Amino acid sequence: MSEIPASAPLAAGAVPSKATLGKATVAALVVAAIILVTIVLPAEYGIDPIGFGAATGLIGLSQTTPPPIVASESGPVRPQPADYKVDTRRFSLEPFGGYVEYKYELEAGATMLYTWTATGEINFDFHTEPEGLPPSASDSFERGTAREGRGSYTAPYTGIHGWFWENDEEDAVTVTVTTAGFYSVAKEFRDDGTTAEYPVQAVVPPALLSPAP
């Protein structure tokens, strides 16, 4: 091993000629430009001036189109695993951190429609607790801060599925939720540590309306 200079830039003898320096700098620039045009720009931005990105499939990295919706085998009609239920409930959330969790037991493939409104902005988190799995297996599907929400939900697996609502503001907030779907039990978890379970009755059809004459 040869003696190594103590510190600082290249040893004096190693300072390259201007020509070498220029060539190396140009080489670095040219190779960088080639890599940018052939690889980086197609993959990152979908800019593909010489078509290398398309030829190698790199261009696909820049296109984040969602996968197409595939119709289920049974077509647009989906039979449901439980009785049809309707449920409405109202909760009062204390200011500065009052919260409630309200969830339904849904089997895999069961659907519900929902709408909820609050008297003020609240944080919400639609999440799940898969049956027989630890809390870490929970999935969170929608989160944010809002006064209302509505939509439909089809359970990807059996478990309990529903909302966490939290009031961060300085005034109490009332949240009202109405759902219709094919669930069984509804469960409530309050910020004071209490839990409640509400058996939801199947909808009894109202007296048959006879068709207009």
Partner 1 sequence: MNSRTRVMLSLVACVLIAALWPDTAAAHGVSARDADFVQTITGMAIGPFLYLGAKHMVTGYDHLLFLVGVIFFLYRLKDVLLYVSLFTLGHSLTLLGGVLGNVPANAHLIDAVIGLSVVYKAFENMGGFERLGIHPDTRAAVMVFGLFHGFGLATKLQELALPQNGLVANIVSFNIGVELGQFLALTAILIALTYWRTRVGFLAHAFATNTALMMGGFILMGYQLTGYMLE
Site string for partner 1, 143-182 (x = CB under 8 A): x------------------------x--------------
Contacts of 78 (CB under 8 A, 6+ apart): 72, 109, 111, 154
Q: Is 18 in the site for partner 1 (CB under 8 A)?
A: yes
Q: How many positions of this chain bind partner 1 (CB under 8 A)?
A: 40
Contacts of 135 (CB under 8 A, 6+ apart): 129
CA atoms within a 13 Å half-sphere pointing along the CA-CB vector of 53: 23
Q: Is 50 in the site for partner 1 (CB under 8 A)?
A: no
| Sites for partner 1 among residues 106-125 (CB under 8 A) | 125
Going by DSSP bridges, is the β-strand pair 159-167/98-106 parallel, antiparallel, or unpaired?
antiparallel
Contacts of 203 (CB under 8 A, 6+ apart): 83, 84, 85, 86
Could you tell me which of 180, 176, 193, 123 has the C-alpha nearest to residue 153?
180
Q: Is 36 in the site for partner 1 (CB under 8 A)?
A: yes
Q: Is 27 in the site for partner 1 (CB under 8 A)?
A: yes
Q: Is 32 in the site for partner 1 (CB under 8 A)?
A: yes
**Interface region with partner 1, contact rule CB under 8 A, candidates 9-17, 72-80, 82-90, 195-203:** 9-17
Please report, as ranges, the residues that interact with partner 1 according to CB under 8 A: 1-2, 4-11, 14-21, 23-25, 27-29, 31-33, 35-36, 39-41, 43-45, 47, 61, 125, 143, 168
